[in-house]
């Protein structure tokens, strides 16, 4: 549980951002609002973040010469993608404050490590077994039963790298389809709803949690976030306690988003966590006293954390693929707040923007 003196990186400084997607873009916009410059580092041409950042390095995460120059040009480094190689984070951390650190990423990059970490703190998850081949998959299915979900341990997101198993599933085919040698079998959780909590933490240990929100998924991708979540005060308190406990135990500096299942009998189980801004926090841009992106800047720069009060009950809807074609009607809708990410091509399943609305 790392806790250090607070180093303040004042406005006018340059924040280095690893990863150049929409989360980096919205962080860069919030940073600019507080007088910071953002230098984005990532491998993608014409990226959502590079379009709004002050400076860009277009390079791979193992381009050490580019990373060396990047480290010299920034005052603090953070990230918008938890799968940045830990070697990259360690290289930068030896040269410039880099948060969250590689120990946090090592846990967040691996579904087995993530669930083990939570369980070791007494926090519940779906029952799970690590699986490395068809034989260990058969053994795990014999123990956990079906329905269950087979997920690749690393690099899974938005329902990718997952197979649902039913009693009659062909296990050999399911294993082949994942194309991995490290997976996890999870028992299927019958949930009443899915919720998430985002916690900000500074290097001196000061934390602030955003309110509990409800997430509705479609085809494994977040579709809508409803704010606040319609859960009992006891469930909200427990979800917040869990998210804060994980943030503190991991020693996160920046943000930690924790996705959880709420069971019909009111238990709260951790599904996943991500040490970065999260899609379920996009509502904060228009309906919270402080946006998650500004809060990230505040946390990594050692500024006072902002208030997290809900300004009005609201809803966030993702615009996936050609949903984005509705932009004209959404702009005409009273009260709707449209955010587009500047992506040229609206491929199916691609997050193109979102809309926040009062409800
Ligand atoms: P994930 O990539 O782990 O966040 O999974 C995407 C979505 O699939 C989750 O938000 C849930 O809706 C569903 N899901 C994942 N794991 C489970 C599980 N063990 N039991 C029930 N539903 C799950």
Q: From first to last of the 359 residues of the chain, give the pLDDT tens digit.
A: 567 889 899 999 999 999 999 999 999 999 999 999 999 999 999 999 999 999 999 999 999 999 999 999 999 999 999 999 999 999 999 999 999 999 999 999 999 999 999 999 999 999 999 999 999 999 999 999 999 999 999 986 666 788 999 999 999 999 999 888 899 999 999 999 999 999 999 999 999 999 999 999 998 899 999 999 999 999 999 999 999 999 999 999 999 999 999 999 999 999 999 999 999 999 999 999 999 999 999 999 999 999 999 999 999 999 999 999 999 999 999 999 999 999 999 999 999 999 999 99
Contacts of 52 (CB under 8 A, 6+ apart): 25, 28, 29, 32, 38, 342
Q: Could you tell me if residue 116 is inside a domain?
A: no
Q: How many Å apart are CA 274 and CA 278, to the nearest integer? A: 7
The neighbour count for residue 54, using CB atoms within 10 Å, is: 14
Same domain, 22 and 89: yes
Query: Does 238 share its domain with 274?
Result: yes
Domain presence at residue 334: yes
3-state SS, residue 157: coil
- Give the span between the Cα atoms of 7 and 138, in whole angstroms: 51
Range of the domain at 150: 127-187
Whether 291 and 179 map to the same domain: the answer is: no
- For residue 191, give the ligand 1 atom closest to its CA: 21
> Does the N-terminal peptide bond of residue 228 adopt cis geometry, omega within 30 degrees of 0?
yes
Can you say whether residue 167 is alpha, beta or left, with left for phi > 0 and alpha for psi between -120 and 50 degrees? alpha
Question: Is 219's C-beta closer than 6 angstroms to any atom of ligand 1?
Answer: no
Are residues 287 and 158 located together in one domain of the fold? no
Domain shared by 141 and 173, yes or no: yes
Helix ranges (DSSP H) in the chain: 22-33, 64-73, 86-93, 102-108, 111-120, 134-144, 171-178, 233-250, 284-287, 292-300, 327-332
What SS3 state is found at 331?
helix
- 251 and 146 together in one domain: no
Number of domains comprising the chain: 3
Cβ of 249 less than 6 Å from ligand 1: no
| 167 falls within a domain | yes
Give the end of a domain, one of 162, 187, 212: 187
Parallel, antiparallel, or unpaired: how do β-strands 183-187 and 221-227 relate?
unpaired
CA of 140 to the centre of ligand 1 (A): 18
Residue 57 lies in a domain: yes
Residues 209 and 350 in one domain: yes
Q: Would you state the pLDDT for residue 156? A: 67
Measured in angstroms, how far is the CA atom of residue 271 from the centroid of ligand 1? 7
User: What CATH code is carried by the domain that includes residue 303?
Assistant: 3.30.470.20
Kindly report the CATH number assigned to the domain that includes residue 159: 3.30.1490.20
**Residue whose CA lies nearest to ligand 1 atom number 8:** 220
Please tell me if the CB atom of residue 271 comes closer than 6 angstroms to any atom of ligand 1: yes
Which atom of ligand 1 lies closest to the CA of 190? 21
Q: Is residue 164 part of a domain?
A: yes
For residues 350 and 312, what is the distance between their CA atoms, to the nearest angstrom? 28
Q: Tell me, yes or no, whether 1 lies in a domain.
A: no
With respect to residue 41, please indicate whether it lies within any of the assigned structural domains. yes
Write down the pLDDT at residue 247: 98
Are residues 301 and 283 located together in one domain of the fold?
yes
Residues 177 and 56 in one domain: no
Judge if the beta carbon of residue 186 lies within 6 A of ligand 1. yes
Ligand 1: centre distance to CA 323 (Å): 23
Distance 272 CA to ligand 1 centre (A): 9
pLDDT of residue 47: 97
307 and 333 assigned to the same domain: yes
Distance 352 CA to ligand 1 centre (A): 22
The residue from 187, 207, 228 where one domain ends is 187
């Amino acid at each position: 549980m790392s806790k250090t003196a607070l180093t303040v990186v004042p406005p006018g400084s340059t924040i280095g951002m690893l990863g150049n997607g929409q989360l980096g873009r919205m962080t860069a916009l919030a940073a600019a609002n507080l007088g910071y410059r953002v230098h984005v580092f990532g491998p993608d041409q014409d990226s959502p973040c590079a379009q709004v950042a002050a400076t860009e390095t277009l390079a791979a995460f193992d381009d050490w010469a580019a990373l060396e120059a990047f480290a010299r040009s920034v005052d603090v480094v953070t990230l918008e993608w938890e799968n940045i190689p830990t070697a990259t984070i360690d290289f930068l951390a030896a040269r410039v404050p880099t948060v969250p650190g590689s120990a946090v990423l090592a846990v967040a990059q691996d579904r087995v490590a993530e669930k083990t970490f939570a369980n070791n703190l007494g926090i519940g998850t779906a029952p799970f077994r690590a699986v490395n081949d068809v034989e260990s998959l058969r053994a795990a299915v014999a123990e956990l039963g079906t329905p269950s979900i087979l997920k690749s341990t690393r690099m899974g997101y938005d329902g990718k790298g997952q197979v649902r198993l039913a009693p009659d599933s062909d296990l050999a085919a399911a294993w082949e389809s994942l194309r991995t040698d490290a997976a996890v079998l999870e028992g299927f959780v019958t949930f009443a709803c899915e919720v998430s909590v985002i916690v900000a933490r500074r290097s001196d240990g000061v934390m602030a949690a955003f309110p509990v929100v409800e997430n509705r998924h479609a085809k494994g991708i977040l579709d809508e976030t409803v704010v606040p979540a319609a859960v009992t005060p006891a469930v909200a308190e427990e979800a917040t306690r869990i998210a804060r406990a994980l943030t503190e135990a991991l020693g996160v500096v920046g943000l930690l988003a924790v996705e959880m299942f709420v069971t019909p009998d009111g238990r709260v189980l951790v599904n996943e966590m991500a040490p970065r801004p999260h899609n379920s926090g996009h509502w904060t841009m228009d309906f919270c006293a402080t946006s998650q992106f500004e809060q990230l800047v505040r946390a990594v720069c050692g500024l006072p954390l902002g208030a997290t009060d809900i300004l009005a009950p609201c809803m966030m809807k993702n615009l996936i693929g050609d949903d984005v074609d509705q932009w004209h009607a959404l702009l005409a809708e009273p009260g709707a707040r449209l955010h587009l990410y500047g992506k040229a091509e609206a491929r199916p399943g691609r997050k193109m923007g979102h809309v926040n609305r009062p409800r």
